[in-house]
Amino acid sequence: MSHSIANPLLEMHILPPFSRIKAEQVEPAISALIAQNRAHLQQLLASISATSQAPTWDNLIAPLEAQSDKLDQAWAPISHLNSVCNNDEMRAAYTASIALLTEFNTELSQNETLYKAYQQLAQSDGYAHLSQAQKQAIDNALRDFRLGGVALNAQDKIRYGEIQQRLSELATQFSNHVLDATQAWYKHVVDAAVLIGLPESALAQAAQAAQKKSLTGYVLTLDFPSYYAVMMYADNRALREEIYTAYVTRASAESKKTNPDHSVTITAEFDNTAIIAETLALRYELARLLGFKHYAERSLATKMAQSPEQVLDFLQQLATKSKPYAARDYAELCEFAAAEGCQDLQAWDTTYYSEKLRVAKYAVSQEELRVYFPAEKVIEGMFAIVQKLFAIRVEPVLEFDTYHPDVRFYRIYKNQEPIASFYLDMFAREAKRGGAWMADARVRRKTDAGIQLPVAFLTCNFTPPVGDKPSLLTHDEVTTLFHEFGHGLHHMLTQIDVAAVSGINGVAWDAVELPSQFLENWCWEPQAIPLISGHYQTGAPLPKTLLDKMLAAKNFQSGLQMLRQIEFSLFDFRLHVEYSETNPIVARDLLQQVRNQVAVVQPPAFNRFENSFSHIFAGGYAAGYYSYKWAEVLSADAFSRFEEEGVFNAATGESFLQSVLQQGGSQAPMQLFKEFRGREPQIDALLRHCGIEVTA
Ligand SMILES: [Zn+2]
């Protein structure tokens, strides 16, 4: 195929040529690049074997890295545009390309010749002379080859493929059932008096839902915002009980369905119970096929945690320490509810009275804080903070090729030298996916022409400026910005030159949230607040009284929240440790066991939470839900060194930069953490930050 008009996606650029990228160029470019990569790989492997050379870094991996970077360079802006400037053409081009990429990646992971070449390289004398980053890249590749089943015998390989296929079907069915069950139930309310307590926004939502169904009045649904608004604000207790019951039985044999005449029946058509059982059995079989003891061990093969015992012990410790605080939180709630006239607090009352208690105790709203956090002031302050910490300078670049006038572009300097750059796309707008995230546009790597510097995309969805009023952020949004910038620094400050382990590449996923959550700490520091806050009219920094309220409210019911997350984590992890063919665990029984052991409050017997636990049955969190708490412990513990040595201590900042941020995925995260902290992580700092006293 000839390209009479140059396709910019097939050229190499320092930065993506956004203004010239068109949807119709996407699929031809990706398909041409994949064909190039495929031919290049074949040629490389053939020439190594024809000349009887041993595979080396220089004759195999370096050229592969260079070739695959071309594909990455084309794909990064496409994937970004699909998220931030979505339209039908781009979505179609993206979907078609994703299918091609998935196929190509599967092909790579099943390439036995390539696997053997990596193996040969790992066993060669040359391996010992490679850098730590190069060794780690090879070790990771070999690990991923094995996890992909390439080393299995022919028969097992077939079985492996069947299991993967079936597991993916089951995951899709599981989430479809949750979705269908969520949509199957609704409640039509004609009399607004039933909804007393609901805020305006929730009422408007419910009225809109009614209109969509061509009904008068209001419709309550099981979509989270609708469900949660009722649980939190509806004064009508029977209504809360009804919606709670429908919500927690979704996708079980007790799932509820609203009929056209508004009557409600119980249906088993969305029941996930059998899917859970089959998923567990297949995961176990898959793990055994690959030589692991159980699925939890398979999960940990790519994580920072070293053994199932370590994870269980970690969760158990957190449970033991936080249980008394959860009990105290619960007792306080019961006492408050009793004073309000509710003597027998039920599951459908806890959110409702918790919100009332929170308002009574702290009375600080996100809206009240907004005026102190104009976006410009926050960004400027955030750059000043990282300048103090890591001796880097962030400067805006005014001339650059972009896809939208709102986007800004910045360059980072260290010792006057440019080391990285990033796009900042802050505001919500039409055709832009919600949420906040960091993605890489270019990865740091060594090329024939020198070092390719890393480039990041930082994307948020904050409220844009309205009229002559600047964009004002809630404190939650400020925290989000710091979080994503933390991921960005991890990607951009790396000094590793091997693409596979540079920046956030190759970082174990229970460690990847360390830099992001770490940077959030400065949003709460009395010394940092004056840098990032200033009333948009007067310039006055956030008053201390408001900060104190914010800090006090931060730990509201932290014991109960901690224990709830631990309950889910323990359930998930034990499920994948204890399941075997001779011990086919029933998920519900195990969940009850875990609750008997750690919970301070038991949900009603009809609760079927496990049937909609999509994180572990339809998402990537199987035997990995503990990662949330794990990463929080790491970031809190890392920050505690700054609390000891000064939150703006430049030497401590330099140490974090050198031990963690610059190293990317080049070494085991435990090693890097120990280098920075001088010891293994401890849970004390996290507990202390949550207001849980640590006694020896
Ligand atoms: Zn994150």
Q: What is the mean pLDDT of each run of 10 residues along the chain (696 residues)?
A: 72 94 96 98 93 92 97 96 93 92 90 96 96 98 96 94 92 92 96 94 91 95 91 96 98 96 95 98 98 98 95 96 95 97 96 93 82 96 98 98 97 97 94 90 96 97 87 93 98 98 95 96 96 96 91 90 96 98 96 96 96 92 95 96 97 98 97 96 92 70
pLDDT of residue 696: 46
Asked if 546 contacts 599 with a C-beta cutoff of 8 angstroms, the reply is: no
User: DSSP states of 105-131 as a string?
Assistant: HHHHHT-HHHHHHHHHHHHSGGGGGS-
Dist. CA 483–CA 649, nearest whole Å: 20
Nearest to 14 by CA among 90, 83, 68, 69: 69
Tell me, in angstroms, the distance from the centre of ligand 1 to residue 54's CA.
Answer: 41
Tell me, in angstroms, the distance from the centre of ligand 1 to residue 517's CA.
Answer: 7
Which residues, at least 6 apart from 640, have a Cβ–Cβ distance to it below 8 Å? 684, 685, 688
Q: Give how far the C-alpha of residue 641 lies from the chain's centroid of Cα atoms, to the nearest Å.
A: 25
pLDDT of residue 102: 87
Residue 578's alpha-carbon distances to 299, 556, 572, 599, in angstroms, are 14, 34, 10, 20
Query: What is the bridge-based pairing of β-strands 437-442 and 455-462?
Result: antiparallel
Give me 107's structure tokens.
Answer: 């092909």
Tell me, in angstroms, the distance from the centre of ligand 1 to residue 438's CA.
Answer: 8
Catalytic residue, chosen from 65, 484, 525, 567, is 484
Identify the burial level of 620 via C-beta atoms within 10 angstroms of its C-beta, where 0-12 means exposed, 13-18 middle and 19 or more buried.
Answer: exposed
112 is catalytic: no
Tell me, in angstroms, the distance from the centre of ligand 1 to residue 323's CA.
Answer: 27
pLDDT of residue 694: 65
Dist. CA 345–CA 356, nearest whole Å: 14
Dist. CA 583–CA 277, nearest whole Å: 12
Tell me, in angstroms, the distance from the centre of ligand 1 to residue 514's CA.
Answer: 9
Nearest to 573 by CA among 324, 320, 314, 275: 314
pLDDT of residue 51: 87
Partners of 450 in beta bridges? 447
Whether this prediction's pTM lies above 0.85 is answered by: yes
